Amino acid sequence: MIDATGLVGAVVLAAGQSRRMGQPKLLMPWGEHTVIEQVVRGLLEGGATPVIVVSGALHEPIAAALSMWSVQVVHNPRYQEDQMALSLQTGLATMPSEAQAVLVALGDQPQIESSVVQAVIEAYRTSQARLVVPSYQMRRGHPWLAARPLWTELLEQQPIPTLRDFLSAHAGEIHYLSLDKPSILQDLDTPDDYARQAPSFTK
């Protein structure tokens, strides 16, 4: 049974090692904030609560950057395995019982828009689907939503599936939310990505 009236939290996957960027990309400036702050801002303004950020090697600097935001930062001790599913497990295990669904967000997606967060949450409440995935031109984007009845599978399945495999396994259950928002596909991997996409007023 889906309780679509409960809290919708968010887990931010922020344990990557920024190898292609060559520096800690989540701490790079984005407008008046850092990249990770902008992600958190979009989620909070969109109505996600609570927001849990899962960090890796940069746990302390990320926690410091987010010290003034209403979020919880937790550490994924297996971050070196580079599996997003492990970070999601860490976040889900920390999510309070009041949360009935969770948004899965990328720590390197400062392009996130609060209106998209709101739309995904509203689609969940209206459809009562166990999975809600935003799409742009038939391509899946972030943040996507998983209702609590699916969390046990995400937490306990062995071997641990990739998130892509998890979504594929539940393809028939996905409620797709078609949006004219290319930002749901964007993230930051390389210096060129950052140079092209960072706001012009970034300090």
Residue 18 has pLDDT above 90, yes or no: no
Instruction: Of 119, 175, 172, give the one whose Cα is nearest residue 147.
Output: 175
Q: How confident is the model at residue 1 (pLDDT cuts 50, 70, 90)?
A: low
The string of pLDDT tens digits covering residues 22-49 is 688 899 999 999 999 999 999 999 999 9
Residue 4 has pLDDT above 80, yes or no: no
Q: What pLDDT is stored for residue 43 in this prediction?
A: 98
| pLDDT score, position 5 | 77
| Phi, psi values for residue 101, rounded to 5° | -155, 160
| pLDDT > 90? residue 133 | yes
CA atoms of 63 and 183, how far apart (whole Å): 26
114-127 and 35-45 helices, crossing angle to 10°: 40
DSSP string, 181-202: -GGGG----SHHHHHHHS-TT-
What CATH number is given for 7-197 in this structure? 3.90.550.10
